[in-house]
Amino acid sequence: MLRLLLLFSLPLYILDQWSKLYIVKHYELNAHESTIIDGFFWIHHTANTGVAFGMGNGEWWSNWVFGAISLTAAVAITIMWKKGVFPGAMSRTAAGLLYAGIAGNFTDRMLHGYVVDFLKFDLRFMIWPSFNVADACVVSAAILLGTSSFFEKPPESVKA
């Protein structure tokens, strides 16, 4: 069963790391951006040592703290997966997305000393903070987990 988690997570992790490798090799850090859709979508290379919306970015402790949180979350997901806490396809998909996102950003922290962000959108009412494939996996997982809580029944052994 754990193999299913890895089979789903691994391709997303590879996509995340491949896209970041491309950005690191072809875009100088904070130097320039490429317009993909004029006035809406750009690609650039920026460093984020923090978490969502840059919280903790640039702090000396951020990679250590957020790296430890990532490892703890990955272990917790693995344990919960083995215990059958994710009862349906929606929650199992969310767990796989979380795993891929956690692994992708943790790898960045270890390899680069920061998370490589490169997707930038102007939503007209705000310029969305730069993000990456791993971040998109984590956000999608949160949405799926929330949704699954309405539609999937927890396993008998987990019910309060």
133: its two tokens: 């494939």
Going by C-alpha positions, the residue among 10, 21, 8, 12 that lies closest to residue 116 is 21
Element (H, E) at 98: helix 89-112
Catalytic residue among 38, 108, 117, 122: 117
Cα torsion through 53, 51, 134, 152, rounded to 10:
-90
25-59 burial by CB neighbour count: b if 16+ within 10 A, else e? eebeeeeeeeeeeeeeebbbbbbbbbbeeeebbee
135 belongs to the catalytic site = yes
Catalytic annotation present for 38: no
Distance CA 63, CA 51 (A): 9
Name the token pair of 100: 């891929």
* 61 phi/psi in degrees, rounded to 5: -90, -15
Catalogue the active-site residues: 117, 135
